[in-house]
């Protein structure tokens, strides 16, 4: 799981979809107000939106599951998952969550789910089947559940939405990956523990293996970077080639921080353990490019 930086698309297709979603959301709210059962359509996963936004191999999701970061082979295999369930809620133990009355007492009426967020793009994430199926309508929180529009801002969810822009929701504050590719809760984070449990992030052998593979690739890039620095100080080697190698390494390592490679968190943990940051690579890349341009000039 990685923090995913979202820039809302600027296109006519997207804007039309947003308008349609807003209209359908308004209808859902009216239906609930009338005491009727809401019917949620497939509008939230409209084909062209799914292809250009959720399933694209480009940013923001790079064709990967937002939770386990596994590449998803094709568009048809991608589930569009509701972070906050659209219809009905269960707690972390699989028990149905019921509504509470105006006095705060639990009723026998099942929670409707976050129907008002059913078409909200900020509540939608691409997910693989192995993450989506066990999660389903499970959504544990600390304290009370939101029951109507807007109340969700006061919730304290135990799962992490990786596209949230809140620092408290940054997965790096709750999860990390050890040298064996095993993901663990950072500093005993309850939210980290819950993500591990619900998405089964350590219960699939191939996940740890893939994380280890990415870590080894990152370590090799670090060695390549270190060797390029040594070459730069060796009069027997080409200064121009050393700068080109340094630039290439810095760009590749910047790409890791930006999430362009699978299993980002595993690689980022390696980089941070070695004292690197995205800002360091970006600054060095700029410096080396300027020095190279002077040599070319």
Under DSSP, the state recorded for 60 is T
| pLDDT (mean) for 128-146 | 96
Under DSSP, the state recorded for 51 is I
> Which candidate, 145, 159, 150, 155, places its Cα nearest to that of 109?
145
pTM exceeds 0.85, yes or no: yes
> How far, in Å, CA of 199 to CA of 33, rounded?
34
Range in 116-125, 215-224, 237-246 with the lowest mean pLDDT:
237-246
Predicted confidence band at 89 (pLDDT cuts at 50, 70, 90)? very high
CA 173, 4, 281, 207 torsion-angle sign: positive
Q: Is 126 helix (H, G, I), strand (E, B) or coil?
A: strand
Domain residue extents for the chain: 12-163, 205-296
Token output for 119: 């078409």
pLDDT at 137: 97
CA 97 from centroid of its chain's CA atoms:
26
Residue 33 in this model has a pLDDT that exceeds 80:
yes
Inter-axis angle of helices 239-257 and 278-296, nearest 10: 150
Predicted confidence band at 234 (pLDDT cuts at 50, 70, 90)? confident
Q: Is 177 helix (H, G, I), strand (E, B) or coil?
A: strand
Predicted confidence band at 296 (pLDDT cuts at 50, 70, 90)? confident
Range in 70-84, 199-213, 265-279 with the lowest mean pLDDT:
70-84
């Amino acid at each position: 799981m990685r923090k995913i930086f979202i820039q809302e698309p600027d296109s006519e297709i997207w804007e039309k979809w947003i308008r349609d979603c807003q209209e359908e959301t308004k209808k859902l709210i009216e239906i609930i107000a009338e005491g009727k059962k809401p019917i949620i359509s497939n509008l939230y996963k409209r084909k062209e939106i799914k292809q250009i936004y959720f399933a694209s191999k480009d940013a923001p999701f790079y064709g990967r599951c937002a939770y386990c970061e596994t590449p998803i082979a094709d568009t048809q295999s991608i589930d569009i998952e509701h972070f906050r369930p659209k219809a009905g809620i269960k707690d972390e133990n699989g028990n149905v969550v019921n509504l509470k009355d105006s006095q705060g007492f639990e009723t026998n009426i099942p929670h409707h789910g976050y129907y008002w967020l059913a078409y909200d793009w900020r509540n939608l994430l691409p997910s693989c089947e192995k993450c989506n199926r066990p999660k389903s309508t499970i959504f544990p929180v600390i304290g009370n559940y939101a029951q109507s529009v807007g109340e969700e801002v006061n919730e304290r969810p135990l799962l992490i939405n990786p596209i949230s822009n809140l620092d408290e929701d940054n997965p790096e504050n709750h999860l990390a990956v050890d040298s064996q590719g095993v993901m663990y809760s950072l500093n005993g984070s309850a939210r980290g523990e819950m993500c591990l449990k619900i998405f089964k992030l350590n219960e699939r052998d191939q996940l740890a293996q893939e994380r280890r593979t990415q870590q080894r690739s990152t370590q090799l890039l670090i060695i390549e970077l270190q060797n390029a620095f040594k070459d730069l100080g060796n009069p027997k080697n080409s200064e121009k080639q050393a700068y080109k190698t340094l630039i290439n390494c810095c760009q590749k390592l910047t790409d890791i921080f930006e999430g362009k490679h699978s299993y980002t968190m595993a690689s980022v943990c390696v980089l941070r353990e070695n004292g690197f940051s995205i800002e360091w690579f970006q600054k060095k890349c700029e410096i080396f490019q300027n020095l190279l341009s002077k040599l070319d000039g």
